[in-house]
A = this chain, B = another copy of it.
Amino acid sequence: MFFNLIPKEFDFFDLFEKQVDYAVKAAVYFKELTLKGSVDEEAIAKIGDIEHQGDEATHDIINQLNKTFITPFDREDIHALAKELDDIIDMINTIVSRLRVYKITRIDKNLIEFASVIEESVRAVACTVKWMHNMKNSKSISESCVEINRLENVGDSMRDKMLAELFENEKDPIAIIKWKEIYQDAETVLDICEDVAHVVSSIMVKQA
């Protein structure tokens, strides 16, 4: 005789809180690294660890989703949210890897500035995700989403200003290749945070 042990209902909020905490960890550590000014083997190992743990948190959500019949919000929104939060961590990991691969020995003030905005945005993402637990937080959530969108616009202007200066002042094309990619990747983290805000906004409207 067989029993179906697959849970029919699951709230997912704890799993998302765990996942988004790794995103905050990655953003905070990235900020620390930029302030330290360079990336060594230890830093690569540490960000790699965070990324790996984030991966496992993501897989937990997807596996749970595939086994669950009744979800607190639309399946595709759960999937999208898990994927976007995973992408935040991956992108931060990618930037740190590039700093090593490109042998950047002195992180510039621009990247420090970007790392601050990234930390701010990822912290706002974490609040938003945690507040989703309770629909009474809908006002805070929507304010937080507005803030994440604002930070994405800030990032756009920062990247454009930094690229303009880079092409204006840097005469070494190889340095341009490296920093152009790093600034664009940094801005991409903020784009992904904005994508999270869009998913969360959609979920809120559907539940209203």
Query: What is A's interface to B at a CB cutoff of 8 Å?
Result: 62-63, 66-67, 76, 97, 100-103, 160, 163-164, 167-168, 173-174, 176-178, 180, 198, 202, 205-206, 208
Contacts and interface: CB of A to CB of B under 8 A. Distances in A.
A198 B65 CA distance: 13
A205 to B, nearest CB: 4
A95 to B, nearest CB: 13
A168 B103 contact: yes
Contacts of A63: 205
B178 A102 contact: no
B167 A101 contact: yes
Contacts of A103: 164, 167-168
25 contacts: A62-B198, A62-B202, A63-B205, A66-B202, A66-B205, A66-B206, A67-B205, A67-B208, A100-B160, A100-B164, A101-B163, A101-B164, A102-B163, A102-B164, A103-B167, A103-B168, A167-B174, A167-B178, A173-B173, A173-B174, A173-B177, A174-B176, A176-B177, A177-B177, A177-B180
Contacts of A208: 67
A138 to B, nearest CB: 14
A70 to B, nearest CB: 15
Given A97-B160, A102-B164, 18 more contacts: A63-B205, A66-B205, A66-B206, A76-B76, A101-B160, A101-B163, A101-B164, A101-B167, A102-B163, A103-B164, A103-B167, A167-B174, A167-B178, A173-B173, A173-B177, A174-B176, A176-B177, A177-B180
A108 B122 CA distance: 41
A9 to B, nearest CB: 16
Contacts of A205: 63, 66-67
A198 B160 CA distance: 33
A102 B164 CA distance: 6
A63 B145 CA distance: 15
A176 B175 CA distance: 11
Q: Which 4 A-B pairs have the closest CB atoms?
A: A66-B205, A173-B173, A101-B164, A66-B206
